[in-house]
């Protein structure tokens, strides 16, 4: 059973460009979480999605950031008009359908975004 | 506000000696508690979790953690450290409240350095 897949692993963008980060959850998992890790900091929750639904986006910046988890295909975290402060590692985690509070979240390898 | 504290930025221990990585939390009620490990340029790997029952939880790679409700702590321990245990360790909590959508709240991480 393949783990959580994320691509690209590294992404370099210039200020003002768009960044698209992809996450394929583990097989059989229907909950997807996105977290951001700034340098020298722990992970911060951004958004929680199920198929075709955003359940909790309380950690998402109000502007420029969006996320989706379509019926088919990976979850996408999209950052428009990137700024240098967006440089960070972005991690996706998935968990199986069930009691989401008890279930373990399994993390992907992350996408490291560098904004020049 | 919910928070997790890992009071030590770095823990140094000699190979073969016992290790402890500390974690305290501030969450209403009894939370679910997790430990993850992160190797350089990798994602987070799940080590163990406390859901209910026995306060001593055993996990992967010989690690264990003890839930202490009165001290609101969940310290990670291992009887005999290995050089390969050197990594960044994160404690995380999840609120049991019905409104929580499952997001994890992370500590800032503790770097464990095991020297030969």
| Each residue's pLDDT tens digit, A49-104 | 998 899 999 999 999 999 999 988 999 999 999 999 999 999 999 998 766 667 78
Q: How far is A25 from chain B (nearest CA, A)?
A: 14
Look at A33 and B32 and tell me if their CB atoms are within 8 Å. no
Provide, as residue numbers in chain B, all residues whose Cβ is less than 8 Å from the Cβ of A105: 46, 102, 104
Instruction: Scan for tokens 């003890």, then name that residue.
Output: B66
pLDDT of residue A42: 83
pLDDT of residue B41: 77
List the single residue in A41, A110, A112 with the smallest CB-CB distance to B108.
Answer: A41
Q: Write the DSSP string, A27-77.
A: TTEEEEEEEEE-TTS-EEEEEEEETTEEEE-TTS-SSSEEEE--SSS-EEE
Q: How far is A104 from chain B (nearest CA, A)?
A: 8
Interface mutation target, options A43, A59, A113, chain B, most CBs of B under 10 Å: A43
Q: Report the greatest alpha carbon distance in chain B.
A: 47
As a whole number of angstroms, the distance between CA B36 and CA A93 comes to 12
Which range among A10-24, A48-62, B43-57 has the greatest average pLDDT?
A: A10-24
pLDDT of residue B98: 58
Sheet holding A75-79, edge to edge: A5-7, A19-24, A75-79, A65-68
As a whole number of angstroms, the distance between CA A29 and CA A33 comes to 11
Q: How far is B64 from chain A (nearest CA, A)?
A: 16
List the single residue in B42, B51, B103 with the smallest CB-CB distance to A48.
Answer: B103
Instruction: Scan for tokens 């008009």, then name that residue.
Output: A81
As a whole number of angstroms, the distance between CA A18 and CA A61 comes to 15
List the single residue in A58, A91, A100 with the smallest CB-CB distance to B44.
Answer: A91
Look at B106 and A105 and tell me if their CB atoms are within 8 Å. no
CB A81 within 8 A of CB A16: yes
As a whole number of angstroms, the distance between CA B102 and CA B87 comes to 26
As a whole number of angstroms, the distance between CA A27 and CA A65 comes to 26
Q: Identify the H or E element spanning B108.
A: none
């Amino acid at each position: 059973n393949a783990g959580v897949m994320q691509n690209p692993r590294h992404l370099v963008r210039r200020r003002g460009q768009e960044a698209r980060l992809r996450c394929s959850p583990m097989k059989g998992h229907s909950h997807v979480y996105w977290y951001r890790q700034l340098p020298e900091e722990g992970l911060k929750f951004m958004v929680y999605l199920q198929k075709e639904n955003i359940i909790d986006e309380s950690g998402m910046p109000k502007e420029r950031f969006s996320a989706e988890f379509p019926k088919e295909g990976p979850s996408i975290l999209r950052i428009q008009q990137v700024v240098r402060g967006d440089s960070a590692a972005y991690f996706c985690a998935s968990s199986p359908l069930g009691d989401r509070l008890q279930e373990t979240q399994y993390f992907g390898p992350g996408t490291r975004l560098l904004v020049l | 506000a919910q928070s997790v504290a890992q009071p030590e930025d770095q823990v140094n221990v000699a190979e073969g000696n016992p290790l402890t990585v500390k974690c305290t939390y501030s969450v209403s009620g009894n939370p679910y508690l997790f430990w993850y490990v992160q190797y350089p340029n990798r994602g987070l790997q799940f080590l163990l979790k406390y859901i209910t029952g026995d306060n001593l939880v055993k996990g992967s790679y010989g690690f264990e953690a003890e839930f202490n409700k009165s001290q609101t702590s969940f310290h990670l321990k291992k009887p005999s450290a290995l050089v390969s245990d050197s990594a960044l360790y994160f404690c995380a909590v999840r609120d049991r409240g019905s409104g929580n959508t499952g997001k994890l709240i992370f500590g800032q991480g503790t770097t464990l350095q095991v020297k030969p």
